[in-house]
Every structure is written in C-alpha cells, then in structure tokens.
Amino acid sequence: MPSSSVRSCSVSESAAGPVASPVAEVEDFSLSLVRNGVRSQVLHHVDLRIRPGEILGLVGESGSGKSVLALGLLGLLPPGSHPVTEGRITVDEVDLLHAGRDELRRVRREVLGAIFQDPMTSLNPTMRIGRQIGEATGDDAESVRLLETVGVRDAELRLRVYPHELSGGLRQRVMAAIAVAGRPRLIVADEPTTALDVTVQAQLLDLLRELRDDFGCSVLLITHDLGVADQIADRLAVLHHGELVEIGAAADVVRRPQHDYTRSLLASRLTLTTPRDERFVTESSSTTIESAVSIRALTKTFGVGRGRRRHEITAVDGVDLEIGAGEALAIVGESGSGKSTLLRMVAGLEKPTSGVVELAGDGGPQMVFQDAGSSLTPWLSIGETLGERLRPLKLSRGEVRERVTDALAAVDLPAEVAKVRPGELSGGQRQRVGLARATMIPPAVLLCDEPTSALDASLAKSVLALIRDLRARIGMTVLFVTHDLAVARLMGDRIAVMQSGRVVELGPAEQVVSEPRDPYTRTLLAAVPEIAS
C-alpha cells in the first residue's frame, strides 16, 4: 500500500478527537541483522503507536518482520545478530534502544508482559511449572486460579510437572498465565494461539480482552491468521517484507482491504467451506477395504508427582480405531485430549499401558512433527539426513544421491538444498524436508502431528497440498492430528474427535463438520474463528 494510504489512516484517526499518549511508540524504525554471515534489512521505516487500552493486531507472513519488531518492543533484539537500528522504540517513555540494563529490566518487570510462539524456549526446563508461575504470583492458589483461567485441566496437579511433560498447547497456556500474572500495561503476544486448539484459542483471546477491559492494559497481538486478529483487535497493522503496508480499524482492513498483500492473506485462509481435493471426495470406509492400522482398547496413563502426591493422569482411555489402507483419518481435539499421545503410540515412540496397535504392510510408520526444525539433526546437511533414511537399502553413493535428489524434487525443493543444514532453511522448507524423509521410502502409515500449525496460511496451504499429492501418488495411509477443524476437513476422509482421551465422535469428514452429533464437536465448531461479511 502506498505511504499516502497509511497517512490517510492516521489523519482519520486523529480527526476523531484528541488521542491519549501511547503506551508504546515505534518511530521511523529501521533494523538490519546479520544472518549466516550476511547483513540484511529486516524492517524499513516502521511507524506504529499502541494506545492505552487498545488491542492492536500485527499481521503478516513468516519473514515479514513481525517477531523482530516484537523483540524490539521488549528490548530483546538479539545481540549475536549485531543489530543496526535507526529511529526510536519508546515504552513508558523509555527509549528501549538506548536504555541501560537496569532501566530495561524495570520496564520489562513493571510494564511489559510477553507470550512467545515457542514456550519451550521460554520456560525453564529444570523447574517445575508451579515454581515458575510462583515467581510471578508468589502463591500456589493464585497460580492454580491463573492456570484454570487459561484453560488448564487438573491445574493443581500441573504445578508439580516439568515443561517437557506438557503438550505444546499446555505449555503455551502456562506462558500466558505467567505473562498476565503481573498485570502489565502492555502485553506483547507473539503468535500466542499458534499451538492452541480453537476452544482454548478462544479462551486466551477472551482472557486478553478481559485484561484490557478490567485493567486497562494494551495488547500487541502478532499473528498470521487474520481470522484470529479479527476476533479481538481494535486496529490491524499489516507487515510485508519489513514494511507497514496497511493500518486501520480491524473491520475496515479485513472487510475492505486496500493493499494487494492484505487481500492475498485473506484469500489464503483455510475455512470450513474451502473446496476439498477432488481426488478424495468419495468418503472411504474402513469396513469395506483392508485395514492398514488397527487400534484396539488403547490406553496410556502417566504418573505425576512423587510419594503421597503421586497421581495418575489418563492421556488415552480405551481408544478403538480401524484405518483403511490408503485412507486419511484426521484426529481433532483440544490440547491435552490425547491425540498426540495416541499418534506417538502408533509410531512406537510411547509404550501403551494397555491395548494393541497393529500395522499392516511394509515400510513401518513414519512421523512428521509439528516443529520440523527440532526433528532434523542441526549439524548434518539435508543430503546426509535424507541419506540416513536410505541406509537399510545398502545403495551405492551415486544411487543415494539420485534418490535424495528425487525425494527433494517430490516436495518441490531444488537439488541444491541437499548441501545446506536445517538452520539455513525457512520453516516451510524444513517441513518439506521432513516430508521428504518420511516418504522417500513409502511408509505403512504417515503420521502427521500438527505439521502446519506453526506455518502461516500460504505456507500451510502449500504443505497440505503437498501431503495430498504424495498420498495420491503413492497411495499412503495417513493419520493426521490437528487442532484445526478446517484442516481436518480438508485432509481427512473421516474425522475422529477426541476429548479427555476418548473418541467421542467418528464419521465422514463432511458429516462431522456439517452435522455434528456430539456436543463437544459442536463446541469446537462454534469456536472456529471465521470472518463475518
């Protein structure tokens, strides 16, 4: 959007009357960072003001500069990347780009709260959850209340576990509880709903709205989902390649976008009415074709705590499922419903407490994880990583190179990618490498654990299309775990809905979405963020 469009937005805002002093102000801010030895410009002359009591949505795809701008507002620009800045970032009348260490700490402690996209990098892995929340609350009862507020079941028990014992969604809720404990004046929420199911996402958005209404704090909500932003934001700012291309009232930006990039973001959203792939429109039934995966009376319990305080938590509770050869079954449910634990037992990564998992055919199970970066060995090149998958075949070096090149081509990556390491690739590229590794020897079943939840809409759409293409090409059986019902409908012939470790509804994808039988399924559907016309 031309700069004049941004200026006209500012004129119309100021014309409405006097505007209170902003809680945070970004003035003509430019930033360059060194990445892989090369300095690149990340932000270009950004002007942004966050008003008292305002929820400002900052929207853009991966690489647009949203998260780096958030780090600047928190005074956390990475020194290892040798940041070079121009302009100012002011919070509580303190210039964060030039403030001393003590002043920065005071602002972060008294004024700012933060919820990051990856809670595992923010939580201390050596401390129990209760102690980490207690540093902010000072009281177990208040910690339990905060966890319950952000939708954590068995909150008192969760105080005694470590971060790695929680699912990604539960860790994000813990981060939200810590962020709001100190009643900050500005909460910087960087993709806080990425790993959350729709109901908990709605709870977190409600919580941010309530904090604004009850305590007058402001919120900067960073997201790649315009539907999420539309649910809560007063204004929306759109970043593209480090430039602010559009800003205005949320309703105007979403329903009457002025910039082509904003329109492309809206067009790339997956919804409950997105057309399905014509190759899979006929709903399959596992009762009429050979079974590829048989799950019978599967149960998994985990022990929490020690001694008298030890309790058992049932993650999966007597699940029975039959998945036909070549079928795709999507499993949906809230974080903590047991869907990822079920997937890990099918993969052989968790041992069931009781019950049986049987796989038909050769190739074994292969898994594609939510965080592709952590599932790839950082010190191996992509070619070496893929070559390890071929080791059982005892191929010659030339044959391995040829198979690696073919595998990369199958996921739309050039042969040159084989020479680089995972850290040199984008999130979408790493996810494609994960798919290449999982499918270069056709698996008995492809297990997908939230493979697109951390990707922006256009990247997610392309990765999902790739999985569908691979499925059609080699006739794969797919077990796809997601918290996104729109993705489940698009990817699954059937949908299984899990709640508290049990399957509460199972049926053809279109039927489950259009005619849900279970009240819990209806609750999930009602929480899906849709943009009203």
Q: Say if residue 11's pLDDT is above 60.
A: no
pLDDT band at residue 491 using 50, 70 and 90 as cut-offs:
very high
pLDDT band at residue 34 using 50, 70 and 90 as cut-offs:
confident
Complete DSSP assignment for 63-130:
TSSHHHHHHHHTT---GGG--EEEEEEEETTEETTT--HHHHHHHHHHTEEEE-S-GGGTS-TTS-HH
Please state whether the predicted TM-score (pTM) of the whole model is above 0.75: no
pLDDT band at residue 306 using 50, 70 and 90 as cut-offs:
low
CA separation for the pair 416, 63 (Å, rounded): 22
pLDDT tens for 453-468 read: 767 777 788 888 888 8
pLDDT tens for 82-125 read: 999 999 999 988 999 988 889 998 998 889 988 887 777 788 89
The region that residue 427 occupies, defined by phi over 0 for left and psi between -120 and 50 for alpha, beta otherwise, is: alpha
Q: Say if residue 68's pLDDT is above 50.
A: yes
CA separation for the pair 56, 212 (Å, rounded): 11
- Per-residue model confidence (pLDDT) at position 3: 37
pLDDT band at residue 305 using 50, 70 and 90 as cut-offs:
low
- Per-residue model confidence (pLDDT) at position 307: 66
CA separation for the pair 449, 487 (Å, rounded): 12
pLDDT tens for 366-395 read: 998 877 777 888 899 999 999 998 988 888
Q: Which long-range contacts (CB under 8 A, 24 or more apart) does 129-134 make?
A: 129/158, 129/159, 129/160, 129/161, 129/162, 129/163, 129/166, 129/174, 130/158, 130/159, 130/160, 132/174, 132/178, 133/159, 133/174, 133/177, 133/178, 133/181
pLDDT band at residue 64 using 50, 70 and 90 as cut-offs:
confident
CA separation for the pair 453, 445 (Å, rounded): 21
- Best CA proximity match to 24, nearest among 53, 59, 60, 65: 53
Q: Average pLDDT of the chain?
A: 85
Q: How many residues does the chain have?
A: 533
- Per-residue model confidence (pLDDT) at position 256: 92
Q: Say if residue 197's pLDDT is above 60.
A: yes
User: What torsion, rounded to 10 degrees, do the Cα atoms 267, 271, 277, 278 define?
Assistant: -100
- Topology of the domain comprising 278-364+443-526: Rossmann fold (3.40.50)
Complete DSSP assignment for 265-325:
HHHT---TTSPPPGGG-SPP-TTTS-EEEEEEEEEEEEEESSGGG-EEEEEEEEEEEEEET
CA distances to 72, 128, 235 from 231, rounded to whole Å, are: 26, 33, 11
CATH class of 3-111+184-267: alpha beta
Q: Give the SS3 label for residue 186.
A: strand
Q: Say if residue 9's pLDDT is above 80.
A: no
Measured in whole angstroms, how far is the alpha carbon of residue 55 from the centre of its chain? Answer: 21
Query: Quick check: 440 and 390 in contact, CB under 8 A?
Result: yes
- Per-residue model confidence (pLDDT) at position 528: 81
pLDDT tens for 235-286 read: 999 999 999 999 999 999 999 999 999 998 888 887 888 877 766 655 444 4
Instruction: Summarize the confidence of residues 167-184 as an average pLDDT.
Output: 81
- Best CA proximity match to 472, nearest among 272, 273, 281: 281
